Structure 1
Amino acid sequence: MAPPVRYCIPSERLCNLEEGSPRSSTYTQHGYIFSSLAGCLTKTSENGVLPVYTSFSCPGDIVLAKVISLGDTQSNYLLSTAENELGLVVAHSESGVQMVPISWCEMQCPKTHTKEFRKVARV
């Protein structure tokens, strides 16, 4: 069974610095790690050290998602990318180049060859 998905919004406190390591799409302040983007939160471990926290998408990305709830009175929407044809469609690397999908969970910059783990839509 897959672990539950946790979504986060910009400026949401994710954990304290003793519990994890910040990466792209996060920032630190007053001893805590905060999200700088909205999206799915992933928690991974590198070489047995503290978990690494990252978000799902970046500003300017195009994500294909399904509305699963219209939310509350604040006009919030709950989106899902849980199907194969849903997920990231267009992304740009830090160097400004459009990335290409290399698997269902990875995008690569053709200029720098850096890879980013993302949930890629099968379109």
Structure 2
Amino acid sequence: MSAPLVLPGQPLKAVASSSPGSGTHSFSGALISSVAGTLKSAPAKSQTRATVSVARAPPAPGQGSAILPEVESIVLARVTRLSTRQAQVEILVIGDKVCREAFQGIVRREDVRATEKDRVVIADSFRVGDVVKGIVISLGDQSSYYISTASNELGVIMATSEAGHQMYPISWREFKDPTTGAVETRKVAKPF
């Protein structure tokens, strides 16, 4: 008999009768599954309670495994936050595959352009909501990948103006709002 499948949020057992293991958490006196997978129970050792855990389910046939950014992967990412030193992004596409979940990335000031790196101003290169084409240059720290746009083909590919209109590139460093005619600066990716 195979182990039963459980879904995230599904109650498993009362906390008093067992201990939470990986893939579970306790809530209101019950063990709850945190992930989709198969239910596992380890027998009690001496006077301790049995440990209940949930092992993640393998991907369904045809879905393959989750994709992860690798060094030299071309990615599409949305800018989520700006500071004077970097732009934080969510990686949405890796190569030609859409991510099941977004990965965190950082474009540091020195990785925006290949030349005049000391003159880069993050706020003139990106705005929150821009879609950026970049290349992963490092697996970074534990929470974010480092991304570079220091190439003519890399940079902002989609931008929305302050008035809320979709803009189009007019030079390697400017986008134009077709409705208002306003011009805004960006680190523009080569369009063709």
Category of TM-score, reference length = shorter chain: 0.5 to 0.7
More moved, 82-91 vs 113-122: 113-122
Q: Report how far residue 121 of structure 1 moved.
A: 0.6
Q: Report how far residue 40 of structure 1 moved.
A: 5.8
Q: Report how far residue 108 of structure 1 moved.
A: 0.8
Q: Report how far residue 59 of structure 1 moved.
A: 2.5
| Partner residue, 2:163 | 95
Say which of 129, 139, 143 aligns to 1:60.
Answer: 129
Higher helix share: 2
In the alignment, structure 1 residue 115 sits paired with structure 2 residue 183? yes
Q: Which ranges in structure 2 are unaligned for 5 or more consecutive residues?
A: 1-79, 89-106, 110-120
Say which of 144, 151, 173 aligns to 1:83.
Answer: 151
Q: TM-score, normalised by structure 1?
A: 0.56
| Partner residue, 1:19 | none
Say which of 66, 69, 87 aligns to 2:138.
Answer: 69
| Partner residue, 2:15 | none
Q: Which ranges in structure 1 are unaligned for 5 or more consecutive residues?
A: 1-8, 15-34, 42-52
CA distance in 2, matches of 1:113, 1:57: 19
Q: Report how far residue 114 of structure 1 moved.
A: 1.2
CA distance in 2, matches of 1:116, 1:11: 16
- Between the two proteins, the alignment pairs up a number of residues equal to 84
Contact 2:130 2:156 in 1 (8 A): yes
Q: Report how far residue 10 of structure 1 moved.
A: 4.6
Aligned CA-pair RMSD: 3.0
**Counterpart of 1:97 in structure 2: which amino acid?**
H
Give the greater-gyration-radius structure (CA). Answer: 2
